[in-house]
Chain A
Amino acid sequence: MDLKKYIGFTIEDYLHDDDFLRYVINPSEEDLVFWTRFVNNNPSRAVIIQSASKLISTYRKQETFYNEKSQQAVFERISSTINASKSKKLNVFRLGYVQKIAASFFLFLLAGVMFYLYASKVHQDTEFGHVKTILLPDSSVVILNGNSKIVYARNFRDGIREVWLTGEGLFKVKHINNDPGNIKPMEKFIVHSSDLNIEVLGTTFNVKNRRNKTSVGLISGKIQISYPDLVQSKTKNIVLTPGDYLQHGKNVKTVLQRLADPEKLTLWVNHHLAFKNPTIKEIALVLEDELGYQVRIENDSISTYRIEGEINVSDVNDLFRIISDTHHIRVLQEDKTITIKH
């Protein structure tokens, strides 16, 4: 330290000087020697030095807040937080501030897109036991069986006509192609089910998409079946002719049959319950899927019982009577629960 430096110092200068501050707050041996010598050599500066030092030391006489009584408690809280975060940190994906903003923005956007997609589609569905006729914008007609649903684009007429079906529906598709040798993609009508796609020009057919299985019966016209899943797409697309009945599903082998009387597929339209050589199990599934019943079959052997011949009834009670008469089994109904037993 330079003795000469301090000769002209004012109180303010001293307050700005780091070495002087150290001397007042926490003097080293060297500091004490230096400042004692300085005051001895320059007695006229003593008052200023004293004033500066007094100002600092008086200011420093402040009440302290050490909060010692909480020292241990706060530490215990810290270590329990650390332990808690240790155990969960492994599987917590932490996001930074910017990432958080980006993520919430993205979610917001996603919600908007999803809402748009939802709002841009028309949803039509039916309750158990109800049949509903829907006129599509291109004046094709869909008759929906009970517990079924179709979804199609609001701007249905522009571009390919596409309908997504769950449940059962009878389609009467309007023919808009005038030149069968030159089919434009815009003239197609496609029905999507969970298991297959049906490409149509103009025709009437019945589609039943229930329990991961789709059955298509063609009544008139011509349709082509394709499969959306990769494995099945190796199998060739199939073109159906009237009377063809195709069944395809996730865990079911594709079956193609000929129907003697394809019109029977449409009997449900008039609230008819129609079956041909059905098993009790098949009847039970229809009761559950279309009419919303809960069917309990007491033992497995009963469900394999077959009723020979055709059933064509419009009332469920008639159906129950036929079942109980043919096999001498009892059909008990309690609200929406049906129990079939010996």
Chain B
Amino acid sequence: MIIIWTLNEDNDINLLCSSIINVMAFNSVSDYSMNPDTWVSFKSGNWNAYVELYNTHFKILNNYGHKFTNNTELIEDAVHDLFVELWSKRTKLGNPISVRNYLYKSLRNLLFRKMEKQKRFVLVGENADYPFHFEASSDTIFIENESEQILQSKIKTVIQSLPSRQQEIIYLRFYEGLDYEEIADIMGLNKTSAYKLLYKAINKLQENVKAGDLFVFLTLLLLKKSSLVIN
């Protein structure tokens, strides 16, 4: 009797441990880049690789999705659909140059479709374009000094005045660090239109965040730096 009971307890502990490991795997902060073998092994039906694909991209996909809508449920639904589709179509998938970009593009399409559906029930304002909003709540972000604070609020105001598509291209360019080709692919544009769109956006950004704002900040910065260099 006693021996059997001990064995059972061991099993329970093993189960407990493995479930803790599972939980930890989900909470671990993951890198953007993923081992390229993971994609290949996911396509061959490896469940662990699939889980890794999910865990590597969940956060950044949510972050990107959140630029289009504040509706968390909608984003989660789109992520759900995206990954269900990935698994069911895994054998038919190719090898994208960038897995992340491929996921961005797919999520974007899914999200747009969902938002389009919702539009039929919710009154949407005059903005016929899709929404894209620059994250406005900067209060919680650590900012070094006052001049940088001024610069940031200036940038924010300018970005928010841009049309949604320009806001998105600025985001993909300067937040995600993508080149024209990648941006064109995600946004479903050709390379020339992507360039034109980004050109317009940067031009407006540059025009509005005029030398004035930058130089106030920079002279302070440079004075500090040069004094550092002298010292």
Contacts and interface: CB of A to CB of B under 8 A. Distances in A.
Nearest to A67: B62
A55 B214 contact: yes
A77 B81 CA distance: 10
B175 A82 contact: no
B186 to A, nearest CB: 16
B84 A81 contact: yes
Contacts of A16: 198-199, 202
Contacts of B203: 12
Interface in B24-75: 26-27, 51, 54-55, 58-60, 62-63, 66, 72, 75
B76 A67 contact: yes
Interface stretch (B102-110, B113-121, B133-141): B133-141
A174 B130 CA distance: 75
Using C-beta atoms within 8 Å of the partner chain, give the interface range for chain B.
35 or more
Given A58-B148, A74-B76, A12 B174 contact: no
Using C-beta atoms within 8 Å of the partner chain, give the interface range for chain A.
35 or more
Contacts of B15: none
Q: Is the interface of A mostly helix, strand, loop or mixed?
A: helix
Nearest to B209: A55
A47 B170 contact: no
A65 to B, nearest CB: 4
A85 B58 contact: no
Q: Is the interface of B mostly helix, strand, loop or mixed?
A: helix
B88 interface: yes
B111 interface: no
B110 to A, nearest CB: 13
Interface string A55-88: 1101111111111101110110110011001000
Contacts of A212: none
B174 A21 contact: yes
Interface of A: 11-12, 15-16, 18, 21-22, 25-26, 46-47, 50-51, 54-56, 58-68, 70-72, 74-75, 77-78, 81-82, 85
18 contacts: A11-B206, A15-B202, A16-B198, A16-B202, A50-B218, A51-B211, A51-B218, A54-B218, A60-B175, A62-B175, A66-B63, A67-B62, A68-B59, A70-B76, A72-B23, A72-B27, A78-B80, A82-B88
Interface of B: 23, 26-27, 51, 54-55, 58-60, 62-63, 66, 72, 75-76, 79-80, 83-84, 87-88, 134-135, 137-138, 140-141, 143, 148, 151-152, 155, 159, 170, 173-175, 177, 179, 198-199, 202-203, 205-206, 209, 211, 214-215, 217-218, 221-222
